[in-house]
Structure 1
Amino acid sequence: MIGFHVDGLSIELRTKKFQARFHGADLYELIDSDEHSLIDHVPGNGPAPIELTFMGDETHSIGNGQDCQITVKQLSPFLVHIYLDDPEGDVIVRLSLDDESRLHVEPSASCLRMGLAAVRWNLAGISPDCKLVAPLYQGCRQSLDHPLIANESFSWPSVWEAPLAVLEGNGSGFYVYNDDCGYRPKNLLVGHEKDPHCLRFETQALGPWMPNQSVGGQSWVLDCFKGSWEDGASAYKEWLWRTSDAEKLQSKRPDWVNDIRLALQWCENDTAILDAVAKTIDPKKVLLHIPHWRRDAYDTNYPDYTPGEEGIAFISYAQKKGFHVMPHFNYFAADPAHPLFPQFQPYILSSITSGRLMGWRYDQKNNRFPPLPQTAGALCRFPDEKTMAYIHPGLSLWRRTLTANISTAVNQLDLSALFVDQTLCVFNVNNAIVENMTMAEGLLSLLNDLAELAGPPAIGGEGRNELNMRYQSFAQTHLFNSHHGNCKYFEELDPVPIGDYLFGELCRSMAYGNNSGKDDASKLRLETHEKLNALPSLAISEINQILKPNPAFKQVLDRALA
């Protein structure tokens, strides 16, 4: 019989696909319909089923301590509440079954103490035969104890690009995803000091944390599957496409998007490069990302996007050749030297852990990145350096100013595409709500407006995730913890195109950086992008890269032509 059976603190759940056993909130046994053991540990041993975290990275285990009082109440065959009365906090874990007999686990917590940051649901004792397949940097498949992911935390949505974890075994496995339509902050943590084969699913409170005394409201969905990771990811994909109205969004994409066969990143304003490329491949199938097109230098005076004479001439030349041109913009960076900056200044993002203003400063003369100044005077004190403050996209003044300036450039240059930098950057911040919007909601509002500009233009951005894939047609994607150079153990990465499986029908991925193929490290990056189903993508700065391509560069060109 499908449903829960409760006996004291013991909870047994049976569905058509699996059998699960809990002791209190501790899911200690998960067996699929073919009797494969997917989770197995002794109740009370190992990590606690629930953890609460407070400001200062202070963590308390809930659910297996001697002072924790546990009560289980069954409200129906398909609904159970678990009460954890602990000296550090009161926790309620809601267990339920949906119409597809998937298990929903919703932990919530409250306490008198201020500074409550997050509640974690821990799944310990995962079978060593199961590997994690997840949209981390577009996709990987690794053992939970592999050094690339062990004891790491992956933030949503910039790194953990969709709240989905597939545990793939030998022809079967299980998955967990979050069905939050409110874009609230969450994280995935891999491993625990008491058990390396543990996943921790974290629900965060919106900032500020200092006065906060409660957290929860997000449901984690668990079910088993037979087959490969695609079968495990299909339920989340169906949910994502349904809740985002993806088919409608897909119908609004410009027709030419699917014709692109080659993306050239960070293209210099050299018409000879265009001539050489045009002799190699039909320009109508090439997308150019152009960083140096404005009157101002790169990464200065944002949000002013006035074209410069050189940029106008180069873009016009490229368009006449047939290229699709994608000039570079930024979605939330503002230069303190910009005349409107005083109006944006009160809405600079504030770090949820330190309270510091967020952004960056680059001392070009000494090639160093000092901290962003934290006073109004100091923000404007370094005119010879590059300084950018991050503005909360919930601020309508910011979005309207940015959209208007981008629209002017789109119309003046007759653009078929535009690139908006840093659209992967959605954080949980101290000032989480501006004009009743989170950062995620502000980003989506901005991208929606840009998608309505005349044309409409195809939108490119940085990163690809469950948020920005809704309006972006192209995305520069980062490789696993290897933004500009390859991280330790990168050669052991098993890239799996789960990001392309989830998002690729709406948003095509491209390589981000260090993708010239000039050395073994760059060659490996190009090969990894290919395994992740990215568009053939190359960084190009001089004509000889086309006339005398290195072997890796030529291989990408050949793939574009195939």
Structure 2
Amino acid sequence: MNTRQGLLAFLCALAPALAIPEPWRVETERFSATFSEQGLVALEDASGTHMVGPGELREGVGIHRVEGSHWASAMHALRYTGFEELEGASVDCTLNVDDAAGDLAITQRAKAPEPGVWGVQWTIGRIPLEMNVIVPGRSGIKLTHRSPGSGHEFDYPVGWEAQFVIIEGEGRGFWVWADDVEGRYKRLRVSRGPEGWEIALISMNYAPFDGHTACESVVWRLNTYEGDWRVPARRYRAWAEAHLRPTRIEEQTPAWVKNIRCVIITGVDEALVTALTKRIEPAGTLLYIPSWRAAGYDRDYPSYDEPVEGLRNFIAHAHGLGYRVMLHVNYFGCDPLNPLYEHFEPYQLRSPWGDHEKQWWLWERATPVIRFAYINPAHKPWRELFIARMQTLCMDYAVDALHLDQTLCIS
């Protein structure tokens, strides 16, 4: 990649010797951007359209610690200082212009005199309310000035599935994405107030945070675009395919999936699914069966070899009518009463916060209460066990699909 360090990096290196006034302005062929002690406070594209304008921000450039958050009150030559209740802390920001792509690459290096640092943040605002915020999170969200709720938070890769955010205007806009092949944890905050939108981008350390006194951000890239939101989305997709190498859906999905137009949640009930053929087309219908194991719904994971009586006949009957059948499973659930829990308990997920308590699913509205542990799917023996049991289940019962429950519940 042809990256120009240019005058920006040169001036950063000479910062102690030069008296450079605030704010810090970056000019490219595509846009001009202005940074102050609060972050990116002005952005104008080549057409003269103002996409970020003046206004006091709620947050700004921050260092996040377990004990609380600290915000910069001063900036000199892209070094942020004056963090409240954290004397001696600093965040050094580096801005590089990528000539080939036209991006502005932004990195931060936070240092604190006290431990417990879990993240470093920069903020963009104010963004006009007539612009929309498009987040590839929670299956895709478009936030407008009429959207319910004034604040939204997305954690990558849990509720923020792709690491970018698009600010959409009329025929043009801008976007920010993380040039991060490692897949580090990061957080996006979107706030809306009377004066406009505020976007906060946070790079996170790996837990436990207790001993960290520094945090280096991922490389954030910013650029403007012309057209609709698909222009930046296509560019991110091309980058992701080249660097993350995901398997295309069409390469891993059976052909029958394209024909499904209806999903019915039901039990193991042959009479019911037979009667439904008078109202729906079975060939375009997927039967989702949550409670098919003899132990009951969400109990005795990871046991999948003792189904309710009649499951095999039910699936054969459903297939005979033309249906497809999907069974409910949990990819990281382990009941503490199951004999395997003792073996996998050392790999139970723990909270990165507080006392690092073990993570559980707890459902108190059932009798007896449903409770199971979350086992880290990064533990290879757990993955091998789960995959082997799924293979056996699918082959023994001719199952068409599996519902992998709680795939968005890792935090």
- TM-score strictly above 0.5: yes
AA of the residue aligned to 1:55: V
2:55 aligned with 1:53, yes or no?
A: no
What is the CA deviation profile of residues 311-368 of structure 1, one whole-angstrom value per residue up to 9, with x for unaligned ones?
22212211222222111110111101111110111222111223222113333467xx
Correspondence for 1:12: 25
Q: Given the superposition, is the C-alpha separation of residues 26 and 418 from structure 1 closer, same or farther in structure 2, using an over 3 Å criterion?
A: closer
Q: How does 1:358-369 map onto structure 2 within 5 Å? A: 358-364=359-365
What number of residue pairs does the alignment pair up?
A: 390
Q: Given the superposition, is the C-alpha separation of residues 26 and 363 from structure 1 closer, same or farther in structure 2, using an over 3 Å criterion?
A: closer
2:52 aligned with 1:39, yes or no?
A: yes
SS in 1 for 2:127: coil
AA of the residue aligned to 2:114: R
2:199 aligned with 1:199, yes or no?
A: yes
2:381 aligned with 1:397, yes or no?
A: yes
Q: Given the superposition, is the C-alpha separation of residues 163 and 297 from structure 1 closer, same or farther in structure 2, using an over 3 Å criterion?
A: same
Correspondence for 2:115: 114
CA contact (8 A) 1:25 1:93 kept: no
AA of the residue aligned to 2:301: Y
Q: Given the superposition, is the C-alpha separation of residues 268 and 48 from structure 1 closer, same or farther in structure 2, using an over 3 Å criterion?
A: closer
Q: Given the superposition, is the C-alpha separation of residues 184 and 14 from structure 1 closer, same or farther in structure 2, using an over 3 Å criterion?
A: same
Cα distance in 2, alignment partners of residues 205 and 195 from structure 1: 32
Cα shift at 1:18: 1.5
2:137 aligned with 1:124, yes or no?
A: no
CA contact (8 A) 2:188 2:199 kept: yes
AA of the residue aligned to 1:105: I
What is the CA deviation profile of residues 273-301 of structure 1, one whole-angstrom value per residue up to 9, with x for unaligned ones?
32233344442322221112222211000
CA contact (8 A) 1:52 1:118 kept: yes
Q: Given the superposition, is the C-alpha separation of residues 149 and 203 from structure 1 closer, same or farther in structure 2, using an over 3 Å criterion?
A: farther
Cα shift at 1:388: 0.8
Correspondence for 1:430: none
Q: Given the superposition, is the C-alpha separation of residues 363 and 246 from structure 1 closer, same or farther in structure 2, using an over 3 Å criterion?
A: closer
Cα shift at 1:5: 4.9
Cα distance in 1, alignment partners of residues 102 and 378 from structure 2: 38
AA of the residue aligned to 1:426: I
Cα shift at 1:186: 1.2
AA of the residue aligned to 2:389: N
Cα distance in 1, alignment partners of residues 108 and 5 from structure 2: 19
SS in 2 for 1:125: strand
Q: Which blocks of at least 5 consecutive residues in structure 1 are unaligned? A: 72-81, 367-383, 428-562
AA of the residue aligned to 1:135: P
Cα shift at 1:218: 1.0
Cα shift at 1:393: 1.2
> Which structure carries more strand by proportion?
2
Cα shift at 1:262: 1.9
Which of 386, 400, 408 pairs up with 1:416? 400
TM-score using structure 2 length: 0.86
SS in 2 for 1:309: coil
SS in 1 for 2:310: helix
Q: Given the superposition, is the C-alpha separation of residues 152 and 181 from structure 1 closer, same or farther in structure 2, using an over 3 Å criterion?
A: same
Correspondence for 1:157: 157
Cα shift at 1:235: 2.1
What is the CA deviation profile of residues 206-244 of structure 1, one whole-angstrom value per residue up to 9, with x for unaligned ones?
111112222224122211112222234332232233333
Q: Which blocks of at least 5 consecutive residues in structure 2 are unaligned? A: 12-19
Cα shift at 1:309: 2.3
Correspondence for 1:287: 286
What is the CA deviation profile of residues 345-403 of structure 1, one whole-angstrom value per residue up to 9, with x for unaligned ones?
1222111223222113333467xxxxxxxxxxxxxxxxx33211111112222112211
2:167 aligned with 1:167, yes or no?
A: yes
Cα shift at 1:35: 0.6
Correspondence for 1:303: 302
CA contact (8 A) 2:128 2:196 kept: no
TM-score using structure 1 length: 0.64
CA contact (8 A) 2:204 2:217 kept: no
What is the CA deviation profile of residues 251-284 of structure 1, one whole-angstrom value per residue up to 9, with x for unaligned ones?
23322222222222x3221112322333444423
Correspondence for 2:339: 339
CA contact (8 A) 2:129 2:195 kept: no
Cα distance in 1, alignment partners of residues 189 and 88 from structure 2: 22
What is the CA deviation profile of residues 167-224 of structure 1, one whole-angstrom value per residue up to 9, with x for unaligned ones?
1122211111223222221111123899752110111111111122222241222111
Q: Given the superposition, is the C-alpha separation of residues 15 and 149 from structure 1 closer, same or farther in structure 2, using an over 3 Å criterion?
A: farther
CA contact (8 A) 2:38 2:123 kept: no
What is the CA deviation profile of residues 144-187 of structure 1, one whole-angstrom value per residue up to 9, with x for unaligned ones?
6x573423322233333322221112221111122322222111
Cα distance in 2, alignment partners of residues 151 and 418 from structure 1: 34
